[in-house]
Amino acid sequence: MSQRPRVVILGAGFGGVNAAKVLGGCAADVVLVDKTNHHLFQPLLYQVATAALAPSDIATATRVVLRHCKNVTVLMGEAVGIDPDAREVRLEDGARLRYDYLVVAIGSAYSFFGHDDWARHVHVLKTLDDALKIRSALLAAFELAERCEDKAEIAPLMTFVVVGGGPTGVELAGTIAELSRTTLARDFRTIEPRSAHIVLCEAGPRILPSFPPAQSDYALRALQNLGVDVRVGAKVGAIDAGSIQIGAERLQSSVVVWCAGTAAHPASKWLGATAASNGAVRVGPDCALPGRPEIFVIGDVASFDGADGRPLPGLAPVAKQQGLFVGRLLRARIDGRPGPKRFRYRDYGMMAIIGRSRAVAQLFGLRMSGFVAWLAWSLIHLMLLVDFRSRLTVYVNWSWAWFTYGRGARLLTHAPRWIARARGKARRDAA
């Protein structure tokens, strides 16, 4: 009796999970490896960071997602290397996984454009841990400001900077503004949360550069109406504990969130493959590594040229569609029948929300702004959540927030130590 082929999938994001779902029930043993035990709906991660949703609202245990795929085994572990010649994946604990087919879908990390020393002074937003750290830092800043005896210390504590004017930065800045101006406005006695200074800085000439100029202008006006200080053509010159230099100005800030650029994880080095400028692995038309038809690279870690000759963006729909494609291709190959030859991305559009009842969207060739775009954004994101429980809880939380301006995920168990250190530095600088 011949041995069943083994498919190893690295990453439980949109690409990896959808590939595993398609391979469920096929004549192969599938092993999905991820450093966490959950599948995360990353487009709503910023709402966890701003206390609008709880972590369990947008994350589901990977084993639950793949429960009905009896041939799929889920392992919690982190890949640290690949040996293509031996067809093995090396894990952090030293274990090795043999594979006949490999799907690499490990996502990307943030790039600091040669200033890696800035990383220890900023927050990023890629994982649930990241979101919870941002949430703690934001809420702790208000709590620390409430007990300040020196009024001069309040302004730095209540200054929040978001670097990067793409969809994530715009959504985060708008939601922080709403958090301070509505949710927290009634809860403090010493400070005025509405006076919080939220800064969104973008090095380019406009925010949301992937959208048409008219929609970028709408987003700019919407953010300004929320009180966000939007700065375009503003490059970051330096970041340290408690301050950031934007252009010629240095701002004292308790929380800096970096949403400015991404770089692929080191899969290209593991595979000895050609990499794009951001480190992503260049793949062929079937998402396979050139010269290695048994290795597929998908999602943010892959560089795949679209119909216009430009690399596809690092978006959830790209990863999902590539995961489905690779799953179908591998299933056909395992069954001994011809499979799809070339991946074609179907671009259904893009969206960005700018606070309550405001959004911009391009869907199926239609451009929308305002409440209609916000409603479309809400409905689509609800339907894309992985299970009914998540859809129900998110809908209830959104409805509650709509009618009451409340946020239910505002618990804070301790003040982050780095904010206290920044506060001490601000005192010394003032002296």
Answer yes or no: is pLDDT of 428 > 60.
no
The pLDDT score that the predictor gives to residue 348 is 87
Retrieve residue 16's tokens.
């990896």
Kindly state whether residues 130 and 272 are assigned to the same domain. no
Answer yes or no: is pLDDT of 404 > 90.
no
Catalytic residue among 146, 149, 171, 178: 171
The pLDDT score that the predictor gives to residue 1 is 35
- Provide, rounded to the nearest whole percent, the portion of the chain with pLDDT above 90: 67
How many structural domains does the chain have?
Answer: 2
**Domain C-terminal end among 286, 306, 335:** 335
Residue 276 backbone phi and psi in degrees, to 5: -80, 180
Whether 348 maps to a domain, the answer reads: no
Per residue in 353-379, pLDDT (tens digit) is 998 889 999 988 889 999 999 889 888
The pLDDT score that the predictor gives to residue 413 is 66
Kindly state whether residues 233 and 275 are assigned to the same domain. no
Kindly state whether residues 147 and 202 are assigned to the same domain. yes
- Rounded average pLDDT over 326-337: 95
Residue 69 backbone phi and psi in degrees, to 5: -95, 90
Answer yes or no: is pLDDT of 430 > 70.
no
Kindly state whether residues 230 and 299 are assigned to the same domain. no
**Which has more pLDDT, 315 or 408?**
315
**Which has more pLDDT, 262 or 405?**
262
SS3 state of residue 100: coil
Whether 159 maps to a domain, the answer reads: yes
Q: With contact defined as beta carbons under 8 Å apart, do 345 and 318 qualify? A: yes
Q: What is the CATH number of the domain that holds 402?
A: 3.50.50.100
Q: With contact defined as beta carbons under 8 Å apart, do 321 and 14 qualify? A: no
Whether 144 maps to a domain, the answer reads: yes
If pLDDT is split at 50, 70 and 90, which confidence band does 208 have? very high
Per residue in 142-181, pLDDT (tens digit) is 999 998 888 888 999 999 999 999 999 999 999 999 999 9
The pLDDT score that the predictor gives to residue 424 is 58
Kindly state whether residues 250 and 364 are assigned to the same domain. yes
The pLDDT score that the predictor gives to residue 393 is 83
The pLDDT score that the predictor gives to residue 352 is 93
- Rounded average pLDDT over 400-417: 65
Answer yes or no: is pLDDT of 391 > 90.
no
**Domain C-terminal end among 284, 306, 335:** 335
Q: Could you list the residue range(s) of the whole structural domain that residue 214 is in?
A: 120-260+356-430
Answer yes or no: is pLDDT of 31 > 90.
yes
Answer yes or no: is pLDDT of 416 > 70.
no
Q: Which residues of 58-94 are buried (b: 16+ CB within 10 A; e: fewer)?
A: bbbebbebbeebebbbbeeeebeebebeebbbbbeee
Q: What is the CATH number of the domain that holds 92?
A: 3.50.50.60
Answer yes or no: is pLDDT of 399 > 80.
no
Whether 13 maps to a domain, the answer reads: yes
Kindly state whether residues 196 and 280 are assigned to the same domain. no
Kindly state whether residues 95 and 166 are assigned to the same domain. no
The pLDDT score that the predictor gives to residue 420 is 56
Per residue in 13-25, pLDDT (tens digit) is 999 999 999 999 9
Kindly state whether residues 176 and 281 are assigned to the same domain. no
Kindly state whether residues 149 and 93 are assigned to the same domain. no
Kindly state whether residues 206 and 327 are assigned to the same domain. no
**Is 153 a catalytic site residue?**
no
Kindly state whether residues 103 and 144 are assigned to the same domain. no
Kindly state whether residues 248 and 174 are assigned to the same domain. yes
Least confident of 114-118, 263-267, 329-333: 263-267
Neighbour-count burial of 423, counting CB atoms closer than 10 A to its CB (0-12 exposed, 13-18 middle, 19+ buried): buried
Give strand ranges (E) for 312-374: 349-353, 359-363, 366-369
Partners of 281 in beta bridges: 275, 302
- Rounded average pLDDT over 319-344: 94
Query: Considering only CA atoms, which of 397, 406, 350 is closest in space to residue 43?
Result: 350
- Rounded average pLDDT over 187-200: 93
- Provide, rounded to the nearest whole percent, the portion of the chain with pLDDT above 70: 92
For residue 224, give every residue at least 6 positions away whose Cβ sits within 8 Å of its Cβ, in sequence order, or none.
230
Sign of CA dihedral 412, 195, 172, 379: positive
Rounded mean pLDDT of the chain? Answer: 89
The CA-atom distances, in angstroms, between 183 and each of 47, 147, 246, 410, 424 are 13, 19, 29, 10, 28
